[in-house]
Chain A
Amino acid sequence: MSWRHGFRSARPARRRRRIGCLPLLAIIVAVIVLVAAIALRHRALPQPQSIAAAPPKSEVTHLRPVASFASIGNPQARSLALFAEAGRVIQHPRCMNCHPRNDRSTQTDAMRPHVPWVSRGADDAGEPTLRCSTCHHAANFEASGVPGNPKWKLAPIELAWQGKSLGEICRQMLDPARSHMDRAALLHHMSEDELVGWAWHPGGKRAPAPGTQADFGALIKAWLESGARCPA
């Protein structure tokens, strides 16, 4: 009798265990279904995107045309105004970086010291042990971002512009002892020199000098013809 009683009392307990497993099973199934739903939900696949052939060009700024200065009646004031407009090019980082106050060029719009450390050397194109041409070649090279030009080198130390006012730069340019140029050579340098022209085609993400070299040359020519006045 006792075993029968015991048997009877055991059956409800087993039933309770079975009932107890069902919610657990249901939770596991629900988790699996949820994970599957998340994993298999509809998503848009990434689409191929074309890579730009060249980095976006920097915004080009313009120079005032020489004709716009004709309204300035005073020749001295007109000459000063012409040079002030040309000064937007002269004092642009594309030009100033190669007219350092010492033997080391600067770079970027922030005009940071050149990296790696370099020195101008006897010919302004680098020391014999580290020439500019170690990295800079005949043209800008977009793959590495390194700018280039066949005449790549620094301006002579006598033509250091960094740290000088526009007036000081002006007087320096007009002094053949320092610029090594008479006025005809100065005009040619500004309006036609290939390395000066690089400033308008610097490549990469570098901001070009304002306007064009032709616009700049026209301003310099008009300034020279108007008496080549220098700001204070």
Chain B
Amino acid sequence: MSYQLVVNGRAHQIEEDGLTPLLWVLRDTLHLTGTKYGCGIAQCGACTVHVDGQPMRSCSLPLEAAAGSQIVTIEAVAGAEADALRASWVKRDVPQCGFCQSGQIMSAVALLRVKSIPTDDDIDQAMSGNICRCATYNRIRAAIHDAAGSSSSPANPA
């Protein structure tokens, strides 16, 4: 079946089974490989993308449910929050292996759009679905605080 998908501002006509996870449409059909496959069961957050502005795990979102929505991936996420996070990520040298980081960034951008000055609790809550095998959580939290310009927590890099 054919589905209309708008990804990063570009419309695509996708000829795939409607139950194909969005993740595989992004990676295999559209070759947007910045979005990662981690667990495939919505437990790790590596596949996080924005669907109509909301972070969603693309591994657990069927194509037929994503059709007609505005999808943004790590390749095109933009705006003041994304710019600030990109800078703080570099400054803090956040990634270690880096595999989870596109998902971390997508969730962090969505967090700052909802709470511009998040507390530690806000960050823990919003980012709880994004797992980092290298345990860079302290640097992630510090970088989010940096990006938000928040001083609610001492930013101790891991």
Chain A residues with a Cβ under 8 A of chain B: 115-119, 127-131, 133-135, 137-139, 141-146
Contacts and interface: CB of A to CB of B under 8 A. Distances in A.
Given A130-B128, A134-B55, A142-B19, 20 more contacts: A115-B43, A116-B45, A116-B128, A116-B131, A117-B124, A117-B128, A118-B128, A119-B125, A128-B114, A128-B115, A129-B126, A130-B125, A133-B56, A134-B129, A141-B21, A143-B20, A144-B57, A144-B59, A146-B42, A146-B60
B111 A137 contact: no
B41 A134 contact: no
B60 to A, nearest CB: 4
A189 to B, nearest CB: 26
Contacts of A127: 125-126
B51 to A, nearest CB: 9
Contact of A137 (B20, B40, B62): B62
B4 interface: no
B122 interface: yes
A113 to B, nearest CB: 12
Interface string B85-115: 0000000000000000000000000110011
Interface string B46-71: 00000000111101111001000000
A129 B114 contact: yes
A167 B28 CA distance: 54
Chain B interface size range: 20 to 34
B135 to A, nearest CB: 16
A143 B21 contact: yes
Contact of B41 (A117, A118, A129, A145): A145
A84 B46 CA distance: 45
Nearest to A128: B114
A146 B56 CA distance: 13
A127 B124 CA distance: 12
Contacts of B129: 116, 130, 134-135
A135 B126 contact: no
27 contacts: A116-B45, A116-B129, A116-B131, A118-B128, A119-B125, A128-B114, A129-B111, A129-B114, A130-B126, A130-B129, A133-B56, A134-B54, A134-B55, A134-B56, A135-B56, A135-B57, A135-B129, A137-B65, A138-B65, A141-B61, A143-B20, A143-B21, A143-B40, A144-B21, A144-B40, A144-B60, A146-B42
Contacts of A141: 19, 21, 60-62
* Complex A-B, nearest 5 residue pairs according to Cβ-Cβ distance, in ascending order: A129-B126, A144-B60, A116-B129, A135-B42, A146-B60
A143 B110 contact: no
Nearest to A131: B54
A116 B57 CA distance: 12
Contacts of B54: 131, 133-134
Contacts of A119: 125
Contacts of A117: 124-125, 128
Residue picked from B55, B60, B115, B129, most chain A C-beta under 10 Å: B60
Nearest to B62: A141
A85 to B, nearest CB: 35
Contacts of B126: 127, 129-130
Residue picked from A115, A130, A146, most chain B C-beta under 10 Å: A130
Residue picked from A119, A135, A139, most chain B C-beta under 10 Å: A135
